[in-house]
Chains A and B, each alone.
Chain A
Amino acid sequence: MNFLDYAPAPESAAILNLRDEYGLFINGEFVPGNGESFTTISPATEKHIATVSCANEQDVDTAVVAARRAYEKTWSRMSGADRGKYLFRIARLVQERARELAVAESLDNGKPIKESRDVDIPLVAAWFFYYAGWADKLEYAGMGPNPRSLGVAAQVIPWNFPLLMLAWKIAPALAAGNTVVLKPAETTPLTALLFAEILQQADLPAGVVNIVTGAGSTGSALVNHPDVNKVAFTGSTAVGRQIARSTAGTSKKLTLELGGKGANIVFDDAPIDQAVEGIVNGIFFNQGQVCCAGSRLLVQESIHDDVVERLKARLSTLRVGDPLDKNTDVGAINSASQLGRMHELSNVGEQEGAERWSPACNLPSEGFWFPPTIFTNVSTSHRIARDEIFGPVLSVLTFRTPAEAIAKANNTPYGLSAGIWTDKGSRILAVADKLKAGVVWANTFNKFDPASPFGGYRESGYGREGGKQGLHAYLAPTVPSRSALNGANR
């Protein structure tokens, strides 16, 4: 160990008070599921954390019935002010139990504790706090007077930001007056189940939020249940397509937040050291398992060599390892299947002629790990420039003119995020105008806020989460208001 190395500084898991087994959270209580229970493991060690119930079709139905009853009897009749108070309570309870939630999240997901502690969990609390305030102000949301809630919302969320995605879904749904049945991802159910305990602490009326754990078949039973009025899904574009097909012709309101292949564009006048930090944050944040990751670096040809050299130097200082260690920059990959996809696509990248580079790093022998990786000499037709890898793998492409940068950035069926690095304000505005992306970060990357709408163009899905727009996903205008608003003779 030389003097620049860090001694281990793991966050203690003793703060957790986990049960051995978790049931489904239906109608305010934990109940055993009728499906086959499964275990959730720590991806960093492959060690068992807890056994979790699996909801079959019958359990999903029970949950939807509970949500419907809570909607009819309690939640839709409650004043907005009181709904807001429950959400404020939840926000405070999340803040109070923030460290416990952060440790659980890192344990179950594999993400570094500095991210779960400083990004995920604070944003969870912020999301509930933000939407709490909307609950009694819906007539100001821009949908005309007396916007209506939709009813029961079916929500299916991914494993990359387990509790944060739960907050993105549940907070606006409840603020708008809907009740919820939510399915967490199969590999990361833990924090959703701890969240259920928080709901009990908050005395949220039974059935307003129901959490059903399980795999794809549970999710499918949920979104296809005939008595849900709203479907919200975050996950892969392939599953999003299936859901769009299966809800076609129904009155279910659908919002989808799907994949991406974000372009991070660096112009030659950019502050290079800042840009390098932004590139690293863009693709190595959460091990690159981020739908809006800046997975394509578009760097102006004249500064390519300089940027790549500084990027490699920076990558060499990233610490890969124990997610619970406070000094860890890059944690574990969430699952073996995800790791397999990273290996497969990276191998294709090499076969197609791109140049692969990773810093020297000792990966632990247990668990799922992938080193930070850069591909240079990538062309737009390479699969690593087209397919979402969803891992710590950066594809570097070059451009000469702003027009070429824009054309390359938009050369993808996705349209979720993009980054622009330049010192010139007028260029930022001009380039941002032309990018087909729902979120554009100028001289920053991967920033999230409950007040800021998030969501994609094209095959990255539709609808927005966050802000006033995020509320619209859970509301319908009161019908007669439309003609009244617009002049009865039209």
Chain B
Amino acid sequence: MSRLAVPKTYKLYVGGKFIRSESGRVYEVATTKGSFSVSSVNAAKASRKDARDAVVAARGAVSGWSGTTSYNRGQVLYRIAEILDGRRAQFAEEIAAFEGVSLSTATAQVDEAIDLWVWYAGWADKYVQVAGNGNAVSGPFFNLSVPEPTGVVAVIAPQAAGVPGSLLGFVRAVAPILVSGNTVVVIPSERAPLAALSLGEVFATSDVPAGVVNILSGSPAEIAPWLAAHADVNALDLLGAGELDWVDLQIAAADTLKRVLPPEQAPDAGAASLDRITFFTETKTVWHTKGLL
């Protein structure tokens, strides 16, 4: 007789803790194909209050995360790749079962996600050199422009299963935002949230400080408007919001003049790019007076 499996409770990841929704709500996510320990699981369904709590956690984590050295941040991002690599099989199985793709397709998605963390990890101590500059001004000044993280970013990760997939879509959205020292509140794919929720376990064991990544499974149509209008959110990445009323989200974001990146829907939506790092930064220019000798 086969062994009876012990299924996992899929919870939100907020402030470094795995929590149920304060609302007590869950929603059923069913497998679409293949073998999994159970035929369906109940993912936590985040509420408006969970979203606000997540913003508080994300705001609290900004100064610590942006205050680490670039070298340190790069190592932490690389560590995510390491830990994820060690759990390839688990992620591939989850993706195959809940996105309805073959195990080899799912494995390819996991591998691409791992490699993407490695690629972005390497940017942490370089993007400033590429995006910043010294400025030859007409006067006795040392004038320097450097990009800095913009703060708390709310993200709607790609929603469709398949291409690029729930895990890779999540990583494409989140990884570049973290590079510069921003913190995020992410709504993963509503239909296939499990890989993102499991990725929370990877963050929790990769020296990513609590609150830097907050993951809210549930309905983006329900939660996103609160994040778009939240006065303590600095930017909004609508990468996966193509099927929502995203124009309304952008209009809500205008009240606090959030920086907004619009949806992308091609298979290469959110493909690796320096632009995705620099979009969530602010250029600060400092004029230092040179003394007379």
Contact = CB atoms under 8 A, between A and B. Distances in A.
B82 interface: no
Interface in B224-277: 234, 246-247, 250-251, 253-257, 259-260, 268, 271-275
A194 B256 CA distance: 37
Interface stretch (A29-37, A156-164, A437-445): A437-445
Nearest to B63: A434
A256 interface: yes
A452 B131 CA distance: 14
Given A452-B137, A490-B272, A442 B288 contact: yes
Interface in A229-254: 237, 240-241, 244-245, 248-249
B122 to A, nearest CB: 12
Contacts of A258: 257
A462 interface: yes
Interface residues of A, number: 47
Interface stretch (A209-217, A333-341, A481-489): A481-489
Interface string B170-211: 000000000000000000000000000000000000000000
A345 to B, nearest CB: 22
Contact of A439 (B255, B274, B285, B288): B285
Given A237-B257, A462-B259, A486-B271, A441 B130 contact: no
A183 interface: no
Given A449-B135, A458-B234, A245 B272 contact: no
B282 A451 contact: no
Contacts, number: 121
A464 interface: yes
Contact of B257 (A240, A442, A449, A483): A240
B76 to A, nearest CB: 20
A142 interface: yes
Interface in A431-490: 432, 435, 437-444, 447, 449, 451-455, 457-459, 461-462, 464, 467-469, 477, 482-483, 486-487, 489-490
B3 interface: no
A126 interface: yes
A81 interface: no
A486 B135 contact: no
Interface stretch (B24-32, B84-92, B111-119): B111-119
A241 B254 contact: yes
Contacts of A432: 284, 286
A221 interface: no
A198 interface: no
A312 B115 CA distance: 62
Contacts of B254: 241, 244-245, 248
B137 A449 contact: yes
Contacts of A467: 133, 135, 145, 285
A212 B275 CA distance: 34
Contact of A469 (B145, B253, B275): B145
Given A451-B136, A467-B135, A440 B272 contact: no
Nearest to B268: A483
B289 interface: yes
B285 A453 contact: yes
Contact of B285 (A438, A477, A489): A438
A284 B287 CA distance: 20
Contacts of A451: 135-138, 143
Contact of B287 (A126, A240, A447, A461): A447
A241 B255 contact: yes
A444 B285 CA distance: 13
B273 A438 contact: no
Contacts of A482: 271, 273, 275
A433 to B, nearest CB: 8
Given A438-B285, A451-B138, 6 more contacts: A432-B284, A439-B284, A440-B286, A449-B143, A455-B283, A467-B135
Interface of A: 126, 142, 237, 240-241, 244-245, 248-249, 256, 258, 413, 415, 428, 432, 435, 437-444, 447, 449, 451-455, 457-459, 461-462, 464, 467-469, 477, 482-483, 486-487, 489-490
13 contacts: A241-B255, A248-B253, A438-B284, A447-B141, A449-B137, A449-B138, A451-B143, A452-B285, A453-B135, A453-B283, A458-B234, A469-B145, A483-B268
Closest 3 CB pairs of A and B: A249-B247, A244-B254, A248-B250
Interface of B: 112, 115-116, 119, 130-131, 133, 135-139, 141, 143, 145, 150, 234, 246-247, 250-251, 253-257, 259-260, 268, 271-275, 282-289
